[in-house]
């Protein structure tokens, strides 16, 4: 099976759904953000701080390229498609699922999530996050083979729908 790639904005549940799918299908989960941090030996905010967004995107691309093997679940970060080289790789895949949620619900989740530090959302005004979503929304649709509405669904429901 070609890998299942989960894309979507911050707060759409890519990692949680990835974990559930990995359990249900008994296949490996690649959490791109986690792997970037492991390889770099520093946190995502530290990478942004020290290397800028450009440095982070290049690291994201390297991790994606090296893990795009078959039979895996790949939970991406919400901005992966902003980097053309990463977008090109994802656009060539055929099991790409866009977890699409109402932006107000996603903002609510992002602000509640204290464990995940997101340099592109923390300390941003709601209007700025909405603008970022609007800029990115089309690219999620362009890359996706399937669009799953995640707004009012549990992680289990979303995983079942993907299966
Ligand atoms: C980002 C989303 C984050 C992480 C980084 C940048 C983005 O991942 O990759 O902070 O540009 O939207 P999540 O979508 O898992 O929050």
Region 109-116 average pLDDT: 88
pLDDT for 51 equals 98
pLDDT of 57 over the 90 cut: yes
Task: From residue 119, give the alpha-carbon distance in Å to each of 10, 49, 50, 65, 138.
Answer: 11, 9, 12, 23, 22
The number of distinct structural domains making up the chain is 1
The pair of three-digit structure tokens given for residue 66, joined into one six-digit string: 């090296």
- CATH number, domain at 67? 3.40.50.300
Q: Ligand 1 centre from 78 Cα, in Å?
A: 4
Q: Is 14 known to sit in a ligand binding site? A: yes
Asked whether the predicted pLDDT for residue 103 surpasses 90, the reply is: yes
Q: How much is the mean pLDDT over the chain?
A: 96
Mean pLDDT (whole number) for 123-130: 93
pLDDT above 90 for 117:
no
Please state, in angstroms and as integers, the Cα–Cα distance from residue 64 to each residue in 36, 73, 85, 105, following that order.
Answer: 9, 12, 10, 28
What is the pLDDT at residue 116? 85
Average pLDDT of span 61-73: 95
Residue nearest to ligand 1 atom 11, measured at CA? 79
Which residues contact residue 132 at a Cβ distance below 8 angstroms, ignoring those fewer than 6 apart? 120, 124
> 109: domain range?
4-162
Pick the atom of ligand 1 nearest to 119's CA.
10
ipTM of the complex as predicted: 0.98
**Ligand 1 centre from 157 Cα, in Å?**
23
* C-alpha 116 to ligand 1 mean position (Å): 9
pLDDT band for position 114 (cuts 50, 70, 90): confident
* pLDDT score, position 123: 82
Residue 12 in marked binding region:
yes
> Which segment of 55-59, 70-74, 96-100, 119-123 scores lowest on mean pLDDT?
119-123
pLDDT at 142 over 90: yes
For a pLDDT cut of 70, what percent of the chain falls above it? 100
**Selection from 75, 85, 87, 101 nearest residue 153 by Cα:** 101
The enclosing H or E element of 80 equals none
Q: State in Å: Cα 91 to ligand 1 middle.
A: 19
Helices (H), 41-122: 44-67, 84-91, 103-112
111 is in an annotated binding site: no
Asked if 140 contacts 9 with a C-beta cutoff of 8 angstroms, the reply is: yes
Residue 59 assigned ligand-binding role = no
pLDDT at 115: 83
């Amino acid at each position: 099976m070609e890998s299942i790639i989960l894309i979507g904005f911050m707060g759409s549940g890519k990692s949680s759904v990835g974990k559930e799918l990995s359990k249900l299908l008994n296949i490996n989960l690649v959490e791109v953000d986690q792997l970037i941090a492991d390889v770099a030996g520093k946190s995502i905010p530290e990478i942004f701080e020290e290397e800028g967004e450009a440095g982070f995107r290049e690291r994201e691309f390297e991790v994606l390229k090296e893990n795009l093997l078959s039979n895996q679940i790949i939970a991406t970060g919400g901005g992966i498609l902003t980097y053309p080289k990463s977008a090109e790789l994802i656009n060539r895949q055929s099991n790409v699922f866009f977890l699409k949620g109402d932006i107000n619900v996603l903002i609510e989740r992002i602000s509640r999530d204290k464990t995940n530090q997101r340099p592109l959302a923390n300390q941003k005004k709601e209007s700025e996050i909405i603008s970022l979503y609007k800029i990115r929304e089309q690219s999620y649709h362009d890359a996706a083979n399937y669009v799953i509405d995640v707004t009012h669904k549990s992680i289990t429901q979303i995983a079942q729908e993907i299966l």
